[in-house]
């Protein structure tokens, strides 16, 4: 396996916060936001990560030291951008597993899960057709993610036709309903609340879970939180 000693990471942000979304929402966490993504979601709130050449270059040890200097956390969230397309991601994950109790990866799923481990969790967020022309690519490896019980499917749902598309794709890919979390699209409290209320009814009816966006609720839509 390629050593991260020789791999240069490129990150856009390193910060200490609470995990805002998904199954461990509310947990103190270090965030390592890697550069590079070509999925092109229309509502992407981290477009500054899209260029693989942007951000700051450094080693794994640089990133770890900077994160630990910010405070303590049992969890590291490796996010992006699209972290699974970052060079050396498998080595990075192996190193992170040695340094944190729990490692979570936020991914669109355009490539299959590279590593499996009892303390490694994937938050796979496949995109609906209204979001990007690459929607099908983000569902392509859903079976591989579903085979790992540590994967949660976190699906962002906005206006129609998103609800119908989501239900169709969940059935087509036979995703385990107890590991699906729906998350409202939106970057303001008002938009999130309105959609969350509608999604709550959908979750009750379909046996799905609802994910918060705690960081937007607590601090608004800004970087580094
Ligand atoms: S996959 Fe994530 S980082 Fe990439 S465009 Fe979509 S929302 Fe943005």
Phi, psi of 34 (to 5 degrees): -85, 155
Lookup: tokens for 32: 């390592």
Q: What is the pLDDT of residues 98-119, one digit of tens each?
A: 999 999 999 999 999 999 999 9
Residue with tokens 């498998």: 90
Instruction: Determine if residue 12 is labeled as part of a ligand binding site.
Output: no
Q: What is the pLDDT of residues 131-176, one digit of tens each?
A: 999 999 999 999 999 999 999 999 999 999 999 999 999 999 999 9
Domain edges within the chain: 9-219
Residue 197 has pLDDT above 90, yes or no: yes
Confidence of residue 6 (pLDDT cuts 50, 70, 90): low
Instruction: Determine if residue 47 is labeled as part of a ligand binding site.
Output: no
Instruction: Determine if residue 11 is labeled as part of a ligand binding site.
Output: no
- Please tell me the residue having the least CA distance from ligand 1 atom 8: 44
Sheet of 9-18, strand order? 56-58, 9-18, 28-34, 75-79, 102-107, 120-124, 151-157, 180-184, 209-210
Query: Which of 46, 132, 213 is the best mutation target for the ligand 1 pocket, counting ligand atoms within 8 Å of the beta carbon and taking the most?
Result: 46
Q: Please give the distance, rounded to the nearest whole angstrom, from the Cα atom of residue 125 to the centre of ligand 1.
A: 9
Q: 40 CB under 6 A from ligand 1?
A: yes
| pTM reported for the whole predicted model | 0.95
For 9-219, CATH number out of 3.30.450.40, 2.40.50.140, 1.10.10.10, 3.20.20.70 equals 3.20.20.70
The stretch 175-185 carries a mean pLDDT of 97
CB 146 within 8 A of CB 169: no
Instruction: Determine if residue 20 is labeled as part of a ligand binding site.
Output: yes
Cis peptide before 161 (omega within 30 of 0): yes
Query: Which of 13, 33, 49 is the best mutation target for the ligand 1 pocket, counting ligand atoms within 8 Å of the beta carbon and taking the most?
Result: 49
Q: 37 CB under 6 A from ligand 1?
A: yes
CB 21 within 8 A of CB 125: no
- Please tell me the residue having the least CA distance from ligand 1 atom 3: 81
- Please tell me the residue having the least CA distance from ligand 1 atom 6: 41
Task: Count Cα atoms within 13 angstroms, Cβ side, for 177.
Answer: 10
Q: What is the pLDDT of residues 14-51, one digit of tens each?
A: 999 999 999 999 999 999 999 999 999 999 999 999 99
pLDDT at 217: 86
């Amino acid at each position: 396996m390629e050593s991260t000693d020789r791999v240069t990471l490129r990150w856009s942000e390193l910060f200490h916060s609470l995990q805002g979304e998904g199954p461990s929402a509310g947990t103190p966490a270090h965030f390592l936001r890697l550069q590079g993504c070509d999925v092109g979601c229309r509502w992407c709130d981290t477009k500054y990560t899209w260029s693989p050449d942007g951000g700051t270059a450094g080693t794994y040890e640089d990133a770890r030291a900077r994160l630990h200097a910010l405070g303590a956390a049992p969890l590291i969230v490796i996010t992006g951008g699209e972290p699974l397309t970052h060079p050396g991601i498998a080595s990075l994950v192996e190193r992170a597993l040695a340094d944190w109790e729990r490692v979570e990866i936020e991914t669109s799923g355009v490539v299959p899960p590279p590593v499996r481990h009892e303390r490694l969790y994937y938050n796979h967020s496949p995109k609906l057709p209204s979001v990007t022309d690459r929607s099908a690519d983000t569902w392509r490896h859903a079976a591989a993610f579903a085979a790992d019980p540590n994967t949660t499917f976190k699906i962002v749902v906005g206006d129609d036709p998103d609800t119908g598309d989501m239900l169709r794709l969940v059935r087509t890919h036979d995703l385990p309903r107890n590991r699906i979390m729906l998350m409202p699209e939106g970057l303001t409290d008002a938009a999130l609340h309105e959609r969350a209320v509608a999604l709550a009814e959908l979750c009750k009816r379909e046996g799905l879970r609802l994910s918060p966006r705690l960081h937007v609720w607590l601090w608004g839509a800004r970087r580094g939180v």
